Amino acid sequence: MINLELPKKLRGTINQAHQAAAEIFRPIARKYDLAEHERPIELDTMASLVEGMTDGGGNLAGASGGRGDKKKDDGSVRNGGNMSSLVNVIETCWGDVGLTLSIPYQGLGNSAIAAVATDEQLERFGKVWASMAITEPQFGSDSAAVATTAKLDGDEYVLNGEKIFVTAGDRCTHVVVWASVDKSAGRAAIKSFVVPRDTPGFELARLEHKLGIRASDTAHFILDNVRVPKENLLGSPEVDTKKGFGGVMATFDNTRPLVAGMAVGVARASLEKLRKILTKAGLEIDYDAPSWNQPAAVAEYIRLESDWEAAYLMTLRAAWMADNKQPNNKEASECKAKAGRMATDLTLRAVELAGTYGYSERSLLEKWSRDSKILDIFEGTQQIQQLVVARRELELTSAQLK
């Protein structure tokens, strides 16, 4: 049974992450929101800190969660990389989401590597900064529609295609690229490849201008005969039509709770700020009084806080299950859907309840509302998460429920 009290061993790294969020991220958040595509040089000094935490079993931003720890002899379990990553990413996104996504060596591609790489590949790619390239111009959330191809030529794969919306694609050292090794085999042939950023033919077409997370660069790549060693294919190269592409999709079981954690973190920032505003205005938040007997702003605050708590607990559960090697596909989608929807609602309502102060740039409330929107979109939209959950609840395949 899951114990929802955070273990003592994680509190030290949580405190470190919160300190970085408060003392580094918050002070420069507005600066890099206004200076889109400018590299946050302050984060370069964090590289050694991140490496030290990773060597010690922790992850500051939370991108390298993984396979879960082995069970103890007494049948109990340890909280592993996924839980450590989650609680830390909540803290850093309390500071700033865009800057969290820009921390060196903590890209979402690292979770892909942790999810499906072999032990030998983990040894080789364990300390790279990897972004993840899935989306293409002709599709968004339907990952099975990947058109990028990977043809085996001797000891190398040759990749051709186009990838868009690659988070931290310009600053990373490697990109995890999804491609098909056999178009005739359908989704079962979709594999993920680790591609060094400086590989010939891997061309940066442009950087996107965005509503939020402006501190994080979002890249558009063209792959023109990009050659990578065949050992850079993550996991097994075999095309198993019965298994489908469950191997690469397992990536999402790790990354979706992390994205949910990002939503939980930025929403908590808005919630705390809103509470201070209401308290300063002379409003008392009374948890014992019924909502109809309280000021409308207080009743709305309590609703938002309870919604936040539900998302937080669901996200903890999904990460805990991943660490304990329990199938968490449904729970990962549930927490991603809940947290994404909660964060967009909560941060926007905080702007509204704060009035002109919330709408202006005098506070970060308006920025947090813009940043939160992407958390309901990337790693699978709200609608895709609901579809995944429905399939699991109804025990239907993707062909039976589209």
Nearest to 331 by CA among 368, 371, 385: 385
Q: Do residues 93 and 17 lie in contact, with contact meaning Cβ atoms separated by under 8 Å? A: no
Q: Do residues 75 and 317 lie in contact, with contact meaning Cβ atoms separated by under 8 Å? A: no
23 included as an active-site residue: no
> Dihedral of CA 125/191/213/255: which sign?
negative
Amino acid at 362: R
Question: 207: which strand partners?
Answer: 219
The owner of tokens 């997370």 is 213
- Helix, strand or coil for residue 24? helix
Out of 5, 379, 393, 395, the active site residue is 379
- The count of other CB atoms within 10 Å of the CB of residue 330 is 18
Q: Do residues 223 and 298 lie in contact, with contact meaning Cβ atoms separated by under 8 Å? A: no
User: Cα-flanking dihedrals φ and ψ of residue 107, to 5°?
Assistant: -75, 165
Amino acid at 374: I
Nearest to 333 by CA among 314, 347, 320: 314
Question: What gap in Å lies between CA 82 and CA 29, rounded to an integer?
Answer: 26
Q: What is the largest CA-CA distance in the chain?
A: 74
Residue count (the chain): 402
Question: What gap in Å lies between CA 345 and CA 373, rounded to an integer?
Answer: 9
The burial of 295, by beta-carbon neighbours within 10 Å (0-12 exposed, 13-18 middle, 19 or more buried), is given as: middle
Contacts of residue 4, Cβ cutoff 8 Å, sequence gap at least 6: 313, 316
Question: What gap in Å lies between CA 166 and CA 134, rounded to an integer?
Answer: 8
Residues identified as active-site:
379
